[in-house]
Structure 1
Amino acid sequence: MDYSVIVPIYNRPDEIDELLQSLTLQTYGDFEVLVIEDGSTDRCDQIVEKYSDQLSIRYFYKENSGQGFSRNFGFDKAAGDYFVVFDSDCIIPPHYFESVNRYLAIHDVDCWGGPDRAHQSFSPIQKAISFSMTSFFTTGGIRGRKNHIGTFHPRSFNMGISQEVYKETGGYKITRMGEDIEFSLRIINKGFKTGLIEDAYVYHKRRTDFKQFYHQLHFFGRARINIKRFYPNELKLVHLLPVFFVIGLPISLFLMLTGDGVLSKLILLYPLYALVLFIDAATSTKDLKISFLGMVAGFIQLTAYGIGFLEELSKDFKKSG
């Protein structure tokens, strides 16, 4: 068995149905699927069962422990040479494993990741969120772009590791709040090689409205501070940009209302940034509605992340004080 697909799930049976359906269409079929039900009250066992004659699939129910430790549970049960982790809200294109297999045949990597894209069936808001989460002007290209900033750190919505990586690292050390970033950092620090497989992308549905998106990115901001607690040197300038975005708005408004000269014009950076996002979205999506929504999503993303970052950071200051 070449690959073991590990999918933790919590109360999202409809999502696993779409994911499993997409896996039946793979052009390369030497893989198994392990669905780890993480203490759900709305179970997906009956949905998994209907794919038992189309996929080599196993279902496990366990007490709730979070997605990181549920992945470890799956790793312990897996039989493949490589362990592949997908989020339950992903749809996998038919060529995924064929692309991974081709890449691994010529590249010596121990851990890989791939990008995420918007499926044609996604709603305009989902497509706008997908743009915002992958644009160079919001994330610096860290989520699966070839021109990403710094060393590529695979994320757990679309990530593969060798058995050796799991044996050496022991898998996820934390189960939430940036568990995939911590895992990627530890993999790299152990001397393992990571690689980006651009053609091994997934369609990542993420959140379906801006309110859910705000809460998700607020959590991501908090998670970045949690990572700092394990790796203080991993807090980079790029991670502070959403904070500057959040605190810069009231400061620039104050300067506009009370001052004159160059500093009073700082507020103009915000509409200029909105224009940059709109142009980038229009270039990549070719859709004006999604471009406008993508601009909104970008502002929500930076605001939510920045606020979450500051709220979690304040907890550390209170403890140290």
Structure 2
Amino acid sequence: MSEKVSIIIPTYNRAKRLGNAIISVLSQTHTNYELIIIDDGSTDNTEELVGSFSDRKIVYEKHSKNKGVAEARNTGLDIASGEYICFLDSDDEWKSNKLEVQLKYTKSCNEDCIGSYTDVNIVRESALKEIASSLLLDPKQPDNQNALIVQQLKLNGFIHAGSTLLLKKSVCDKVGGFNTDLNRLEEVEFVIRCLDYGKLRFLDRKLVTLHDTGAADPEVEINSVYKFQIALSDIINQYEKQGYNIRSSQNVFLLSQYLALRDYNSAVKHLQNGKITNTTHIATILYGAYLGVSDLDFKVFDEI
């Protein structure tokens, strides 16, 4: 029998979007899976929505209070019984052959392969955000594991692990799940720790649709970067000694977030500590400055 995959969807107050995510899982051509939905203390009709799907493959667990996405995913990992783990954010969807194609690809890789991630289609709420994102993130996939780690540490191009990743359950157990101190970047930090145990392969097929809505709260972003730096200080120091300007790139990102907050004193401090080396850095700064003067209502992370 084919390998069992445990699919974990963390959700909080996203009943309007969750249904499409569930349907995309129940439509998979690979049928040996369990769908674990972790309701992180929702106050909307999430529970009723999940209950409307009469499929025995669905496992529903609800937190008594909101604990955050990292804790929700960890609850799912505790329940999971599959040999492989997949994550899916509750506002995203998979193509119907996602599991089948990705599992086959991952199993065909070398023995040191611990999992894989796929390309994505991203649906953004505005043309401006589409343009900004094309400038802010590196579209190229790293050609080796070292480059992948550096890209993640620099916050310059993500693999969208919350919806694309397929990973051996044994690796999840070894790393101890997600870091619950992080409100953002928890996926990036998790992936970097997983890479201690083997390689992740990129499957160059767009098997996931991501919905990118709202502008992230700069204060949340800033606090998460500081916590990210603390959690991975050893590995950041290691790569800095090898000549990679990790903290410099992080400072450029922090500079953009302080500009968005109109905290120009802090922005200048990070400008002095950063090193602007490419057009991506320039675009990051300009986008932050735009957010600072646009009077946007930043998206508060009351949904996952």
* TM norm structure 1: 0.66
Which one of the candidate residues 173, 180, 183 is aligned to 2:190?
183
- Show the counterpart of 2:74: 72
The AA in structure 1 aligned to 2:136 is T
Matching residue of 1:129:
129
In structure 1, stretches of 5+ residues that fail to align are 252-268, 278-294, 306-321
Give the aligned residue type for 1:300.
Answer: Y
Aligned counterpart, 1:283: none
Shift of 1:165: 0.6
Partner of 2:302: none
Question: Using a 3 Å threshold, how does the CA distance of structure 1 residues 51 and 230 change in structure 2: closer, same or farther?
Answer: same
Superposed displacement of residue 157, structure 1 = 2.0
1:238 aligned partner: 249
Distance in 1, Cα, partners of 2:128 & 2:119: 16
Correspondence 1:1-321 to 2 at 5 A: 2-53=4-55, 56-63=57-64, 64-108=66-110, 109-119=113-123, 123=125, 125=126, 129=129, 132-133=132-133, 135=134, 137-141=135-139, 145=141, 150-151=147-148, 154-158=159-163, 159-177=165-183, 178-189=185-196, 191-199=197-205, 201-207=207-213, 212-215=214-217, 219-232=220-233, 233-234=235-236, 235-243=246-254, 299-300=286-287
SS in 2 for 1:74: helix
Alpha-carbon distance in structure 1 between the residues aligned to 2:178 and 2:216? 26
Q: Summarize deviations over 1:17-73 as a string: whole Å, max 9, x none.
A: 1111222332322222110001111141222122223x7211111132211111111
Kindly indicate which of the two structures has a greater share of residues assigned to helix.
1
Q: Work out whether residues 38 and 62 of structure 1, in 8 Å CA contact, stay in contact via their aligned partners in 2.
A: yes
Quick one: structure 1 residues 243 and 76, their matched pair in 2 at CA, closer, same or farther if it must change by over 3 Å? closer
AA paired with 1:228? Q
Counterpart CA distance in 1 for 2:257 and 2:79 is 44
For residues 257 and 38 of structure 2, the distance between their equivalents in structure 1, rounded to whole angstroms, comes to 38
CA pair 167-147 structure 1, distance change in 2 beyond 3 A: closer
The structure in which a higher percent of residues are strand is 2
**Alignment root-mean-square deviation, CA:** 3.6
Taking only the aligned residue pairs, the percentage that are identical comes to 18
Closer, same or farther: CA 138–168 of 1 in aligned 2, 3 Å: same
In the aligned structure 2, how far is the partner of 1:115 from the partner of 1:304?
Answer: 28
- 1:125-170: CA deviation from partner (whole Å, max 9, x where unpaired): 1x6535644x3x312237xx46799225544322222111122111
Q: How many residues are matched?
A: 252
What is the deviation of 1:116?
2.9
Q: Is the 8 A contact 1:117 1:130 kept in 2?
A: no
Amino acid at match of 2:118: G
Amino acid at match of 1:39: G
Instruction: Pick the structure with greater CA Rg.
Output: 1
C-alpha contact (below 8 Å) 1:111/1:193 kept by paired residues:
yes
C-alpha distance after superposition, 1:91-112 (max 9, x if no partner): 1112211221221121132133
Q: 2: CA distance between counterparts of 1:61 and 1:102?
A: 32
- Taking a change above 3 Å as real, the CA distance of residues 74 and 236 of structure 1, as seen in their structure-2 partners, is same
1:208-238: CA deviation from partner (whole Å, max 9, x where unpaired): xxxx3142x6533432221111222534443
